């Protein structure tokens, strides 16, 4: 009876997530090799997605380290499907494909990055309700971008299954992702 209840709760949560339609809108971006990528390219895999920018003073490197550490922990668990770590820039003016490639290679070998035109990036951030606000430039033209700090977990069906803030550790992320994987049921179409 308890199992049935848990099952119903899960199904309801999934329906709520689908109704929220977070990240459902398509996006058109390019990866670090310049290849066009859209949401369809993410289907069929688990994805841990973070929005940030390469000129970020501390938060983005910390969150990326954490995300990649969680991916490493999951890689150590036999039988789990692989997780795709993914970074989308909120600063397309400076973070072109080359800049992203240089930045991301310090973190995890499978970490991918996406960029695009200002409009494409705005649409992608909007699809995930990620707040983005570039600050005023200093005399050198440098600026920071204020943005929501969230790591999204996408399931193989493309639905956002969870999101994680600053306070979660890599271990907590890995544990949560594993829980989602083990109880995964694709939402009926």
Partner 1 sequence: PARMAAPTREERTACWGARDEFWQCLDSHGDDAAKCEKLRRAFESRCPQQWVKHFDKRRDFLKYKKKLETEGYVPPEAAGKS
Whether residue 163 is annotated as binding a ligand: the answer is no
Whether residue 68 is annotated as binding a ligand: the answer is no
Using the rule CB under 8 A, is 142 a contact of partner 1? yes
- The number of C-alpha atoms within 13 Å of 144 and in the hemisphere containing its C-beta is 7
The b/e string for 137-164 (b: 16+ C-beta within 10 A; e otherwise) is: eeeeeebbbebebbbbbbbbbbbbbbbb
CB closer to partner 1 out of 73 and 144: 144
Distance between CA atoms of residues 64 and 179, nearest Å: 21
Using the rule CB under 8 A, is 138 a contact of partner 1? yes
CB closer to partner 1 out of 103 and 164: 103
CB closer to partner 1 out of 55 and 108: 55
Among 141, 182, 188, 189, binds partner 1 (CB under 8 A): 141
Q: Supply the minimum distance, in Å, between the C-beta of residue 51 and partner 1.
A: 16
Binding to partner 1 (CB under 8 A) within 73-102 occurs at 94-96, 99, 102
Question: What is the CB neighbour count within 10 angstroms for residue 180?
Answer: 14
Using the rule CB under 8 A, is 185 a contact of partner 1? no
DSSP lists the bridge partners of residue 154 as 47, 160
Among 2, 19, 57, 133, binds partner 1 (CB under 8 A): 57
Is residue 74 within 8 A of residue 177, CB to CB? The reply is: yes
Using the rule CB under 8 A, is 144 a contact of partner 1? yes
Using the rule CB under 8 A, is 54 a contact of partner 1? yes
Rama region for 14: left / alpha / beta (φ>0; ψ in -120 to 50; rest): alpha
For partner 1, the binding residues (CB under 8 A) are: 54-55, 57-58, 61, 94-96, 99, 102-103, 106, 135, 138, 140-144
- Annotated binding-site ranges for Cu cation: 56, 60, 147
């Amino acid at each position: 009876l308890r199992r049935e209840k848990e099952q119903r709760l899960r199904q309801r949560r999934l329906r709520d997530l689908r109704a929220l339609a977070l990240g459902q809108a398509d996006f058109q971006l390019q990866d670090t090799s310049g290849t066009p990528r859209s949401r369809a390219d993410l289907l069929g895999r688990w994805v841990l997605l973070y929005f940030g920018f390469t000129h970020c003073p501390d938060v983005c490197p910390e969150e990326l380290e954490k995300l990649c550490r969680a991916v490493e922990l999951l890689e150590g668990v036999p039988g789990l499907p692989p997780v795709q770590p993914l970074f989308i820039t909120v600063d397309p003016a400076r973070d072109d494909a080359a800049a992203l490639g240089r930045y991301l290679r310090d973190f995890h070998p499978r970490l991918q990055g996406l960029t695009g035109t200002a409009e494409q990036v705005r649409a992608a951030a909007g699809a995930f309700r990620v707040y983005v606000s570039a600050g005023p430039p200093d005399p050198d033209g440098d600026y920071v971008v204020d943005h929501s700090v969230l790591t999204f977990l996408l399931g193989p069906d493309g639905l956002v299954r969870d999101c994680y803030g600053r306070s979660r550790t890599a271990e907590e992320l890995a544990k949560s992702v594993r829980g989602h994987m083990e109880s995964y049921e694709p939402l009926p179409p």
